[in-house]
Amino acid sequence: MATDSLFKVLPREAKDGTTGTVNISFDGKALRVPQGVSVAAALLAAGIERFRTTPVSGAARAPYCMMGVCFECLVEIDGVANRQSCLVPVAEGMAVRSQLGMRELNDLVTSAGGARDER
C-alpha cells in the first residue's frame, strides 16, 4: 500500500551562499539532496522509501525514529555497512547503498575492530 510521505523539505538558504545542496548516490543513482541534514533526512527528501530489508523476511524498512533508537535506517555509507543514517551528516560525494538482509559475519567482526577471518 503506497502512502504519501510525511516528510517535507522546508525552504532553506545556505549560510555560505552556496546552493544548499550536495551530490550523493544511492544504490548507484545520482541524487542532489539538501546539505546540513542527516543522510536519512536527505534520502527521505529525495523520495527514497526503502533503506534496508530485514534478514528474515526481506521486508522493506525505512527510518522511523530519526534519533538513533530504532535501527530501521541502516545503510552502507562509503563502503561501511550498518551505519545509522539518521546519525550521519550528509556530505558531498557520499556513496550510499541500501542494506539488504543480513551482513556477512566478517563485516560485523571487522567493524567492531576485530581481525578478518580469511578461512
List interacting residues with ligand FES (CB under 6 A). Answer: 40, 63-66, 68-73, 84, 86
Minimum distance from residue 16 beta carbon to ligand FES (Å): 28
Residue number with CB closer to ligand FES (66 or 81): 66
Q: Select 6 or 115, whichever has its Cβ closest to ligand FES.
A: 6
Residue number closest to ligand FES, CB atom? 86
Comparison of 24 and 52: residue with beta carbon closer to ligand FES: 52
Calpha distance 119→90 (Å, rounded): 36
In the complex, least distance from residue 38 CB atom to ligand FES, rounded to whole angstroms = 8
Q: How far apart are CA 46 and CA 54, in angstroms?
A: 22
DSSP state of 39: H
Using the minimum distance from each CB to ligand FES, give the nearer residue, 14 or 69: 69
Distance, in Å, from the CA atom of 96 to the CA atom of 23, rounded to the nearest integer, reads 11
Which of helix, strand or coil describes residue 43? Answer: helix
Q: Collapse the DSSP code of 33 into the 3-class scheme (helix H, G, I; strand E, B; otherwise coil) and give the result.
A: strand
